[in-house]
Structures are given as structure tokens and as C-alpha cells.
Amino acid sequence: MRFSHKHLLGIEPLAPHEITMILDLAERYVDLNRGHAKHGDALTGLTQINMFFENSTRTQASFELAGMRLGADVMNMSMQASSIKKGETLIDTALTLNAMHPDLLVVRHPHSGAVDLLAQKVNCAVLNAGDGRHEHPTQALLDALTIRRAKGRLHRLSVAICGDIAHSRVARSNILLLGKMENRVKLIGPPTLMPSGIAEFGVEVYQDMAEGLQDVDVVMMLRLQKERMDGGFIPSEREYYHRYGLDAQKLAHAKPDAIVMHPGPMNRGVEIDGTIADDINRSVIQEQVEMGVAVRMAAMDILARNLRATPQEVMA
């Protein structure tokens, strides 16, 4: 079985066996990360550059750690301080970096499609660490690994994704991944935060939490993406919490063993009650962070194997 892609730009082009391949390798890295000597050699001699044009805590830190644990030389470009401020275009920055011969480029950008564009201009493997409201593939993969470990499978589960679906790349990548693996996906949120035409993705849409959460195995909460909103999408945070914030009462509609997820950063008291987020019997939010490092190690390892292989081998 081959991973037939040079880049990891989204979940959309991946086949189910390629998703499983990343998750299976990530399992091995979970074990490595839990040991004392956390070093592998899959990226030895390779150069990884992280370019984050948007703020990030978890994603950037875990990509950095993932690269270091696998032996890469890792450089973080501070995009605020770079020539972008002086008006250099994204493409010029990419070409400049390309001339330094990186092997792996990890990019987060506020514009949907920017990472795909950049991937066409460079020779190395590009990993999308989130582009606008488009895709965030490693987040969906780490969520999938967390679900698979908690539920023992990644198919025929009922998963609710709740809140600001319209502005969320996390939701989009998760909808695609969970759909490919044959799960039932229920989206819950106010109509103002639901993208138009979403039903074409084979999902069910609900406006009411009690109704949508009925008997689900997984409850995935999303942050209100205020930085991507240009008007009044919600009446007030108080009202939003009342209708859509996950509290014990609403969670009681899900299966008794349903897990609670959140990609972070979390707004306690807006989309989720702090007690639920901290409840170690229900919340897998810390596991998601742990799986994030392992999944990024696996994704970079697999792309690096393709870098070393001949083009014919990659396409075989």
C-alpha cells in the first residue's frame, strides 16, 4: 500500500487506506513519545521549515516537536517579523525559502487556498497546518486517532460537530474524513453559522442541541471563529452559550459513554462549560493534544519516504 501524494494539503484527496496508514504509523509514535528516549531517525538530515502566518499554540509546537523527535533540523520562520511586513508576496517568500532547500514546509495561512498555491511553487513536501476556512488535515487526523483509540473503531460511529461550522477548517476536514470512513455526521449550530449547501456533504443538519446530540458517540465542539466573522453572527455570547454551549444537561442527550472533544483554543463558558472540558471521564481534549504530536510525526515520516523514493515508486 502506498501513500500516493507529495504533499498533505487536505483530507479531500486522501483514500481511506491512506488515512489508516497515517493513523497506524502514528500509533507507533504514541508509544515512542510515552517512553524516555523519544527519538526516531525518520527525518534525519532533512530540513523542516515552519511558516505560520496566523497565530498557533498547539499546532506549531507539535509540528516543531514532531520534527525534532524524528531528527530533522527544524526552523521556525517568524512571519510577523519577516519581509511579508515589507510587502513581499507569499510566492516570493516561498521562492526565497525554496532556494534554501528545505525538505518539509509546514504552512498556516489565513487565506483558503494559499497553501495549495504555495505547494505549486516549491520543490519540497508541503503540509497544510490550516488555511483559512478550507482545511486543517492534521487536526482531522489527530481527532480520528483520538476517536479510534477511545471507541476502538473509526467507522459506523455517530459524531456531532457543534458550533461555528461555517468558519471552521477543522469542521471541514473532519466532515470529509469521517464521511470517507463511513460514519454518521451530525452538524449542530445556528443557521447563521452553517455553510450553505452543506447537506451535499452527506451530513445531517440540526439547529437544536438536544435533538442533534441524541445518542451520539462523539461530541466535537468548535470555537467561535470571531477573527473570520465580519458582522453579527450571534446575538450575544451569553445567548449562544445558553443555546449551543455544551453543559451537563445537553451532554445527557448523547450516549452515556460519549466522548467530548475540542481542537483548542477553548472559550470556556462560550462554547463549552469548563467542568465538562476538565472531566477526565468524558473529555479527551488532552489526548487530542498528545495525538497531535504523534500524527504529525507520522505524516512527516510518510511524506519523507516519498521524498526519498523515485517518482515512479510514489505513483505505483
Q: Please tell me what DSSP assigns to residue 62.
A: H
By Cβ distance, which residue is nearest to ligand NCD?
223
Select from 67, 102, 130, 137 the one that contacts ligand NCD (CB under 6 A).
130
Q: Does 59 bind ligand NCD (CB under 6 A)?
A: yes
Burial environment of residue 11 by CB neighbours within 10 A (0 to 12, 13 to 18, 19 or more): buried
Task: Note whether 8 and 127 are within 8 A (CB).
Answer: yes
124 or 170: CB nearest ligand NCD: 170
Select from 43, 143, 263, 294 the one that contacts ligand NCD (CB under 6 A).
263
Task: Note whether 3 and 21 are within 8 A (CB).
Answer: yes
C-alpha cell at 131: 488555511
46 or 263: CB nearest ligand NCD: 263
Binding residues: 58-59, 86, 108, 136, 139, 169, 223, 264-265
How far, in Å, CA of 239 to CA of 215, rounded?
A: 25
Select from 7, 172, 223, 253 the one that contacts ligand NCD (CB under 6 A).
223
DSSP E strand stretches across 132-285: 158-162, 184-188, 204-206, 218-221, 259-261
Q: Does 190 bind ligand NCD (CB under 6 A)?
A: no
Q: Does 14 bind ligand NCD (CB under 6 A)?
A: no
Q: Does 58 bind ligand NCD (CB under 6 A)?
A: yes
Peptide linkage before 263 cis (omega within 30 of 0):
no
Binding footprint of ligand NCD on the chain (CB under 6 A)? 58-59, 130, 136, 139, 169-170, 223, 225, 263-264
